[in-house]
Amino acid sequence: MVEENPLGTGADMVTVLLVDDHPMFLEGLRGVFLPEDGFRVVGTATSADEAVALSLSTAPQVVVLDLGLPDASGVEVTRRLLGDRPEAKVLVLSMSDDDDNILAAMRAGARGYLVKGADREEILTAMRTVARGGAVFSPGVAERLSTFFDSLAAAPGRHAFPELTPRELEILGLLAAGLTYRQIARRLTISDKTVRNHVTNIFTKLQVNDRAQAIVRARNAGLGAQEPPATDRG
């Protein structure tokens, strides 16, 4: 929906497009950005297609985007938005603080990532930073990212398999340690199906045909040496 807003039309206003599939949350978020604070909401969207169309028609400087849209992931929407308008800035505002989602959003080009529950001043400060071309993350996300990248830099296999995502590298290491798909799912608190989907991607990226070949490559790179062997099959 395009916003009709006769107020706050000055050249120094930061124009904002809000994207979230929950109308009540969207309405509350809209009230955060007031002209007197230097912001003008130019539109609101509840789906990926609507967000992309409104971004093109209203040309907002900043898009505040939820990852959980009904017709596409917010990560994919970020790619589409920036593909059409590279000058736009995307700030993710999501319920999820999962490492995979955060990293995927960053790779897609998001300039910030806040977890829903951030207070008004935190959101406004993040918006001003992103609008000026900076990057910003909520304190909890920033701390976890720092810890994650520190551990990733020291992780065996990171340089041997740069094509793998952090989650794929983690699963490959657990495979190399002898864990079954079921054990990996329990360890990472994800479904067996999700593990198998990741493993399929690993096989494709490493150009191997089965688990045995993947394990050999992983162990040659130093993965899996310190995990206990599996005692069941699955």
Average pLDDT over residues 12-29: 92
Cβ–Cβ < 8 Å for 16, 127: yes
Tokens of 75: 């990560």
Per the model's pLDDT, the better-predicted residue between 138 and 45 turns out to be 45
* Local confidence band at 187 (pLDDT 50, 70, 90 cut-offs): confident
pLDDT in tens, 67-122: 989 998 898 999 999 999 999 999 999 888 777 778 788 888 899 899 888 899 99
Tokens of 154: 């020291």
- As its CATH architecture, domain 153-220 has Orthogonal Bundle (1.10)
What is the rounded distance in angstroms from the CA atom of residue 58 to the CA atom of residue 42? Answer: 6
pLDDT in tens, 125-171: 999 999 998 888 766 665 655 555 555 555 555 567 888 888 888 89
Give the DSSP letter of residue 124.
H
Give the DSSP letter of residue 22.
-
- Beta bridge partners, 94, equal 115
Res 169: pLDDT: 86
This model's pTM is above 0.85: no
| CA 31, chain centre distance (Å) | 25
Instruction: Write the CA distances from 80 to 52, 84, 191, integer angstroms.
Output: 7, 6, 29
Instruction: Work out the mean pLDDT of the chain and round it to a whole number.
Output: 83
Res 91: pLDDT: 95
Average pLDDT over residues 46-73: 94
If you count them, how many residues does the chain have? 234
- As its CATH architecture, domain 14-142 has 3-Layer(aba) Sandwich (3.40)
What is the rounded distance in angstroms from the CA atom of residue 175 to the CA atom of residue 172? Answer: 5
- Beta bridge partners, 65, equal 19, 92
* Local confidence band at 11 (pLDDT 50, 70, 90 cut-offs): low
Q: Phi then psi for 113, rounded to 5 degrees?
A: -150, 115
What is the rounded distance in angstroms from the CA atom of residue 174 to the CA atom of residue 147? Answer: 20
Average pLDDT over residues 165-180: 87
Q: Where in the chain is the domain with CATH 1.10.10.10?
A: 153-220
Q: Where in the chain is the domain with CATH 3.40.50.2300?
A: 14-142
